[in-house]
């Protein structure tokens, strides 16, 4: 099962996960008028290197952990995969949204 980027990423986009992904399956684009990132479920190899890279814990380990956002990731893949790569934010940059916090 592919990993999933969930709602915590919406408007945050730290993007450190992009730099470590060995199969280039993480893409950014607009969703609900905010920046967002998705994991292409057809390309993800479930290696797990992206999981600890997200400073706000916006990546979950399987589609079962967030079925709603698993569907959203799959739905947005075609639209996002041709977008330019994003520049990662510093991992200690405070979250932009109240309610999100840095994972320790």
- At 1 the pLDDT is 80
Asked if the structure places residue 90 within a domain, the reply is no
Asked if the structure places residue 46 within a domain, the reply is yes
Render pLDDT for 16-31 as a digit per residue (tens, 0 to 9).
Answer: 999 999 999 999 999 9
Q: What is the pTM of this model?
A: 0.94
Task: With residue 73 as reference, give the H or E element that holds it.
Answer: helix 67-80
Asked if the structure places residue 24 within a domain, the reply is yes
Q: What is Dmax (Cα atoms) for the chain?
A: 33
- At 67 the pLDDT is 97
Q: List strand residue ranges (DSSP E) for the chain, in order.
A: 4-5, 26-31, 34-39, 59-60
The parent domain of residue 46 ranges over 4-80
Domains in the chain, number: 1
Q: What is the mean pLDDT of residues 77-101?
A: 94
Under 8 Å CB-to-CB from 93, ≥6 apart: which residues?
A: 14
Q: What is the mean pLDDT of residues 46-54?
A: 96
CATH (domain of 43): 3.30.70.20
pLDDT beyond 80 at 53: yes
């Amino acid at each position: 099962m592919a990993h999933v980027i969930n709602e915590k990423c919406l408007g945050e986009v730290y993007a450190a996960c992009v730099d470590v992904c060995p199969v280039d399956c993480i893409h950014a684009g607009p969703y609900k008028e905010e920046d967002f990132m998705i994991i292409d479920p057809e390309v993800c190899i479930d290696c797990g290197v992206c999981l600890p890279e997200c400073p706000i814990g916006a990546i979950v380990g399987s589609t079962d952990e967030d079925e709603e956002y698993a569907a959203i990731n799959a739905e947005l893949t075609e639209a996002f995969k041709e977008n330019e790569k994003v520049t990662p934010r510093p991992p200690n940059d405070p979250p932009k949204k109240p309610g999100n916090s840095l994972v320790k």
